[in-house]
Each structure stands twice: as structure tokens, then as C-alpha cells.
Amino acid sequence: MSTMRLCVLTGTVAVLGLSTTGCASKGFVRSEMEGLRAEMAEEHRGLESQIDAVRDDVNDVTAMSAQAAQTADEARALALGDVDYREVERFRVYFDLDSASLDETDRSTLDQVAESMEQNPGYIVEVYGFADPSGSEDYNYALGARRAENVHRYLSAVTPGQLGRYHAVSFGETVPESEQSTIGTGAEMRQVLVTLVEPIPTAGESTAFNEILQGGEFYEYEGVQ
């Protein structure tokens, strides 16, 4: 902005100086003003492009957050197939500000998850990452993803061969309506929610479904062994 003002003032001095000597022409003045207008128009177009880029980024992040719940439902449907489910247990792992690192307390909690999985081979594990709203929406989404991934990685390490039982989703700072009364606010949002769900086959599928579980085929998905 200061450069533009300097150009305007310089142009004015030049015009005044030349007019006192009688040497300035209308064509020269017009040319100077047209050049200044062209420069201002170019800067304006550049600013509009930057604003459009920011607007696109905001729209992308908003859409990403809005799709998080749908992504969770789709992941659950992939894991459970065409059966109903019920939640049987839930665990919470909390994090420090701007951190995705697990501490000893977190690992102890996740060991309980692993123990429950071992005792109940039909359980599916849902890992949901969250973040408080202190950062940008895009950053919080990524932070929630890192937290969920670290929990997923730890659980996978202590339950080898069970990758097909997990799915992880980041909600960032967006809290699903169903969890708004349980997630909390502020520091309590810096968490990963781990839920264990149990497939409930329909009456006609019960026998076949149990056979699949016993045979281990339920845990095999494309790209995951």
C-alpha cells in the first residue's frame, strides 16, 4: 500500500512541476495515469486470486469435516457388512495440547482394549480422533488424524494379525451430534475415542455368520491381511 501511495505522489509532483514550466502535455499526463490505473488493476486482480484461493481452501476443509461422519459410517459398513451392530465398550485416550504422543497412561488404557479384543474375537474396533478448536480447522483435522493413527498403530502392534478389525477416522474439532454430550469441551476434546462394537446378524444369517467368525474369514478384506 505504501508503494502505491508513493507512485501517486510522485506522479502528482511530476505533473505540477512540468505544468509550471509549460512543458507537460495532456498525452503525457494521460499516459502516466493510465499506467497507474493498470498497475492498480493488476494488484486488484492478484488480491482477488488470493481471496479465491483462501475461499477454496475453507470450502475444502468444511466439506472434509462434513464428510467425516459419513466416512465413519461407510467404514463401519465395510467392516460389519450387511449386519447390525451394538456398542459394547468404549475407551478414551487424552492428549496434551498440540500433541499426538501416547504416554504411559494412554498405553495402559489401550492394553485394556487389546485384552477385550482377545477375549471377544467378534468385536470390531472404531478409532475416532478429535482436537480442540484452538488451531485452524484444517490443522485440527490433521491433528485428530495423527492421534487416531498413533492409537491405531499401537493397537495393531499389540494385537498382531488383527488389522481387519480396525478402522480409524478423524473428526478434528467437529463433534458428531451423537457424541456432543460425552466429548466435552476445551482440553477434553484432545482425545481419541475407541469403541468396540459387536456385529448382530439377522435371524436368517446367524448360523452362517457364526461360522464365518469361527473360521476367521470375517477379518479378511481386500488389501488387508
Instruction: Give every strand in the sheet of 191-200, ordered side by side.
Output: 84-94, 191-200, 124-130, 166-172
For β-strands 124-130 and 191-200, DSSP reports them as antiparallel
- The pLDDT value recorded for residue 2 is 40
Under 8 Å between Cβ of 71 and 35: no
Q: CA 59, CA 64: separation in Å to the nearest integer?
A: 8
Sorted by sequence, the CB contacts under 8 Å of residue 20 that are 6+ apart come out as: none
Across the chain, which has 225 residues, the per-10-residue mean pLDDT values are 38 42 55 71 72 62 54 52 77 96 96 95 92 92 95 94 87 84 85 91 53 39 31
pLDDT at 182: 83
Show the cell assigned to 171.
Answer: 473428526
Q: Who contacts 51 (Cβ-Cβ below 8 Å, separation ≥6)? A: none
Separation of alpha carbons 78 and 16, rounded Å: 77
Domain boundaries, the chain: 2-64, 67-219
How far is Cα 18 from Cα 208, in angstroms, rounded to an integer? 97
Query: CA-CA distances (angstroms) from residue 208 to 8, 130, 202, 205, 216?
Result: 82, 37, 10, 6, 13
Report the sign of the C-alpha dihedral through residues 173, 179, 184, 189, in that order. Answer: negative
Task: Domain 67-219: state its class.
Answer: alpha beta
For residue 167, the model assigns a pLDDT of 86
pLDDT attached to residue 17: 42
